[in-house]
Amino acid sequence: MSDLKTIVSFNMALARETENRALEVQVLELGVSAILKDARKGWYAVAEKPLEDARSIVVGQILVTFEWSDWRNGNFWWLQSVYVHPDQRQQQIFRQLYEYVQSQAYLNQEPICGYRLYVEENNHQAHQAYVNLGFQNTAYHMYEKEFSWTSPSFT
């Protein structure tokens, strides 16, 4: 919970950068809090950089959520809300976060059948970073139908 404000701030910046979208702060705070309070929804990892006075600052984040695959009898771990502060990019911070996620997968008690992520179509730098880590483009396109968080419409 001590990283709540930073994670919210990073998610706001991520939405602006990737989708030119302004998120509702109150809704985002509730969403991040829900994950931090309930590991069944997912979990965040943050990368910290030490400061000279023995404190540290958060410079990057990644969110892991779960999707059960009946075809594989295991969970895919979705890598989401990946963000590295602009001043800290090109310093292997995402790679360190990803390696941390991999280390947690090896410790996990439930079967994990792979990682998935989505990336904005025109974010070519991110595309290349994921390919460099062994991710492959799939034959699937992502579609979405968003509901208002207060009153879902099923039509």
Alpha helices in the chain (DSSP H): 4-19, 25-37, 93-107, 124-132
Residue 20 clears pLDDT 90, i.e. is over it: yes
How many helices (H) and strands (E) are present in the chain, helices listed first?
Answer: 4, 4
- The per-residue pLDDT for range 101-121, each reduced to its tens digit, is 999 999 988 899 999 999 988
pLDDT for the residue 146: 86
Domain 4-132, CATH 3.30.1360.120 — does that match? Answer: no
**Does residue 71 sit in helix, strand or coil?**
coil
Please name the amino acid found at residue 63. L
Long-range interactions of 25-28: CB distance < 8 A, separation 24+:
27/149
pTM of the model: 0.90
pLDDT for the residue 149: 61
pLDDT for the residue 110: 87
Which of 3, 5, 27, 19 is closest to 118 using CA atoms? 19
Long-range interactions of 24-28: CB distance < 8 A, separation 24+:
27/149
Residue 32 clears pLDDT 80, i.e. is over it: yes
- The per-residue pLDDT for range 40-63, each reduced to its tens digit, is 999 999 999 999 998 999 999 999
Domain boundary assignment for the chain: 4-132
Which of 137, 105, 133, 102 is closest to 119 using CA atoms? 137
